[in-house]
A = this chain, B = another copy of it.
């Protein structure tokens, strides 16, 4: 059964130095508050996994929390580049960043395999591309019935997956609606999981398109109102598109980034 904890305690208990950590949320419901709490607790040597390492991972990478990034698309969506990610890859700043690069289809299937308790997944993918030359977690497999060649990718089983959801009840059952991305798979694939929510409520009223994660499939739930900002939480608040533009100006330079980090992350320590 999921334990309901303050965010600070949940991160302290679930996320350790050296862990493989997946923060998921496909544009919608990105767990920004949890990401910043991980920075605030100065985690190191993380292997960060995420299909779209947008602002949330630009922050973690710029803060030096990550040793490695497993991903499929690393941009600031609708704006352009992730400057901290580029600085880490191109200049090893603030620390070198190893990368393991896939396509979305590959990453999604790696989570599916992880959630399914299988060691690998099969897909029609990567054919003719240069990705298999640089990513050793892409192999070929032969269909035992037709002889056809397909791609195989290994399961992702993060030490901890973190997602954001709209609501949980007091028993720790989680309710998500709108775009649900790979959140269910990320949670089910992980050894431990943390779900931050907009609010904890007495009763989860059914919502069309909802996805429910039963309490017994989640390790911890933490209330984090507005915890997806600048991403959005359908039914709660809209995407802050201007913040994505603003982030471009912050992330572009090491100085402005470090100032942001001190003011907006470490400076908020007492408040949590």
Q: Point out residues on A near B: beta carbons under 8 Å.
A: 117-124, 137, 139-141, 143-146, 148, 150, 152, 154, 206-210
In the complex, residue of chain B having the shortest beta-carbon distance to the beta carbon of A113: B122
Whether the Cβ atoms of B122 and A143 lie closer than 8 Å is no
Let me know if B145 and A139 touch, CB within 8 A. yes
Q: Whole-angstrom distance from the CB of A117 to the nearest CB of chain B? A: 7
Copies in the complex: 2
CB distance from A123 to the nearest CB of B (A): 7
Best-buried of A119, A124, A206, A210 by chain B (most CB within 10 Å): A119
**Which residues of chain B have C-beta atoms less than 8 A from A148's C-beta?**
119
Residue of B nearest to A148 (CB): B119
A144 / chain B contacts, CB cutoff of 8 Å: 120, 139-141, 152
A143: B residues at CB distance < 8 A: 119-120, 152
- Shortest A150–chain B CB gap in Å is 7
* Closest Cβ–Cβ distance, residue A111 to chain B (whole Å): 15
User: Which single residue of chain B is at the shortest CB-CB distance from A141?
Assistant: B144
Contact of A118 among B117, B150, B210 (CB under 8 A): B150
Which of B139, B145, B207 is in CB contact (< 8 Å) with A152? B145
A135 to chain B, nearest CB (A): 13
Q: What residues on B are CB-neighbors of A140 within 8 Å? A: 144
User: Inside 8 A of A118's CB, which chain B residues have their CB?
Assistant: 122-124, 150
Chain B nearest CB, measured from A18 CB (Å): 21
A119-B150, A139-B145, A141-B141 are known contacts; what are 7 more A-B pairs with Cβ within 8 Å?
Answer: A118-B123, A118-B124, A119-B145, A121-B122, A139-B144, A145-B154, A209-B210
14 CB contacts below 8 A, A to B, read A117-B124, A118-B122, A118-B124, A119-B145, A119-B148, A119-B150, A120-B122, A120-B146, A139-B144, A139-B145, A140-B144, A146-B154, A206-B208, A208-B210
- State how many angstroms separate the Cβ of A116 from the closest Cβ of chain B: 8
Min CB distance A148 to B, Å, is 5
Contacts of A121 in B (CB 8 A): 122
- Given A206-B208, A207-B208, A145 and B120 contact (CB-CB distance below 8 Å): yes
Using Cβ atoms and an 8 Å threshold, which residues of chain B touch A124?
117-118
Residues of B within 8 A of A119 (CB): 143, 145-146, 148, 150
